[in-house]
Chains A and B, each alone.
Chain A
């Protein structure tokens, strides 16, 4: 059993994108604030802070979850994946990120980090989703720029390319109007 008093600073140790990190915090610190303010990982964004907007979505042991509805002390010892871990800082972007770029699936980018972390988890579990399934998964994210359609196209294209990397992209999902 671990007990931490309300005013006590407790050092939380975790793996952030494969690297051991730690910082002190009190029990009430949200994982979203811990990542941004204590560990300096500001790729994770904070929007509504009650689980509605999806901007703060990260992966806890590979599972897409709201960082704003998780306490930092709850994830001690866990693997946390954030948008910073999707590719090397100076390396090529991941296939999912490249697809987002191709399809203009972001504009201001505020929601994008969370959406990428959801899609990354979802595509591992559901490698061949339908458009309706992708839209259902994306219902947990608010985007005020794109109208969502380019995001759905990027996710479906990523799934198609992962299944058959050498096959041409089907017309049904390659509907960019440029």
Chain B
């Protein structure tokens, strides 16, 4: 199908983008890589009145390390991060997740910030951001604010972004010395949305497990660094039930809980160096 008609604005600067967001109202959408939005428009699941194109906004197209974070601007593609030679050292969890995100051709155009802003509960990048305790930078025409990932994701395709705000950048904490991380997922076919995805991080802060595809948003469990054996298994089982999995066309709630326990145990074993 083809998109319904919309007005088009190409923003040359981030200022223009946020001014247009304010001027055009809540029915306008930001268009970056378009690898979620264009599919939605083509299927007419959304019919925004206007698109504000930031895919060529040079000041938003950056990937850099600053203050211990890998900062990715709103126009930077997933490929531009994935093919970064130093990524596996900087944010190894993100490097592990990229090959599981859709396909090469989609990552070439899809943006990191777009995936975070879209907030699909099965998407990999939001899960990585949550597991690592990353941040999002939001700005409107008058001010800028920074939110922790855990406060940003609010529900199915719902975030704390106000209608007049642009998700300007996301920040992934650089891996600390001794930090271990692991990512895995189960999907029907390679590149499909995950039925369940799991990311684990072990460092000085303790054990963190983030799970996607089960609840209405990526969800995080945090445990003491030394939790092992039956205690960890019990905590993981409790977490699997807390997610309140639902039956849908892709998987039953029972199967999803099973996957949380299995995939959760796998990534936890990898970060705690134990046998699952």
Residues of B within 8 A of A68 (CB): 38, 42
CA distance in complex: A75, B56 (Å): 9
Whether B7 is near chain A, meaning CB under 8 Å from some CB there, is: yes
Whether B158 is near chain A, meaning CB under 8 Å from some CB there, is: no
CB distance from A27 to the nearest CB of B (A): 4
Whether A122 is near chain B, meaning CB under 8 Å from some CB there, is: yes
Beta-carbon contact of A70 and B104 below 8 Å? no
CA distance in complex: A145, B105 (Å): 21
Whether B270 is near chain A, meaning CB under 8 Å from some CB there, is: no
Residues of A within 8 A of B43 (CB): 50
Whether A71 is near chain B, meaning CB under 8 Å from some CB there, is: yes
Q: Give the size of the chain B interface in residues (CB under 8 angstroms).
A: 38
Whether B55 is near chain A, meaning CB under 8 Å from some CB there, is: yes
Whether B135 is near chain A, meaning CB under 8 Å from some CB there, is: no
CA distance in complex: A4, B55 (Å): 16
Beta-carbon contact of B9 and A28 below 8 Å? no
Q: Pick the residue among A49, A69, A122 that contacts B104 (CB under 8 A).
A: A122
Whether B51 is near chain A, meaning CB under 8 Å from some CB there, is: yes
Q: Pick the residue among A2, A7, A27, A50 that contacts B42 (CB under 8 A).
A: A50
Beta-carbon contact of B2 and A33 below 8 Å? yes
Closest to A137 in B: B104
Beta-carbon contact of A54 and B105 below 8 Å? yes
CA distance in complex: A30, B6 (Å): 13
Provide the B68-104 mask, 1 if CB < 8 A to any CB of A, else 0: 0000000000010001000000000000000100111
Residues of B within 8 A of A73 (CB): 8, 10, 53
Beta-carbon contact of A51 and B104 below 8 Å? no
CB distance from A123 to the nearest CB of B (A): 12
Beta-carbon contact of A63 and B8 below 8 Å? no
Q: Pick the residue among B10, B83, B102 that contacts A2 (CB under 8 A).
A: B10
- The dominant DSSP class at the B interface is loop
Whether B61 is near chain A, meaning CB under 8 Å from some CB there, is: no
CA distance in complex: A139, B101 (Å): 11
A residues 153-176 touching B (CB-CB < 8 Å): none
CA distance in complex: A26, B1 (Å): 16
Whether B106 is near chain A, meaning CB under 8 Å from some CB there, is: yes
Whether A118 is near chain B, meaning CB under 8 Å from some CB there, is: yes
Whether B12 is near chain A, meaning CB under 8 Å from some CB there, is: yes
Interface residues of B (CB under 8 A from A): 1-12, 16, 20, 31, 34-35, 38-39, 42-43, 51, 53, 55-56, 79, 83, 99, 102-106, 108-109, 189-191
23 A-B pairs whose Cβ atoms sit less than 8 Å apart in the complex: A3-B9, A6-B5, A27-B5, A28-B6, A33-B2, A49-B42, A51-B38, A51-B106, A63-B79, A64-B104, A64-B108, A65-B105, A65-B108, A66-B35, A66-B109, A71-B31, A74-B56, A136-B104, A136-B190, A137-B103, A140-B103, A140-B191, A141-B105
The 10 closest A-B pairs by CB, nearest first: A140-B103, A27-B8, A69-B38, A6-B5, A50-B39, A2-B10, A140-B105, A65-B109, A4-B8, A28-B3
**Other contacts beyond A6-B5, A51-B38: 18, CB < 8 A:** A2-B9, A3-B9, A5-B7, A7-B5, A27-B6, A28-B6, A49-B2, A50-B39, A50-B42, A51-B35, A60-B109, A70-B109, A71-B38, A74-B31, A74-B53, A118-B105, A139-B191, A140-B105
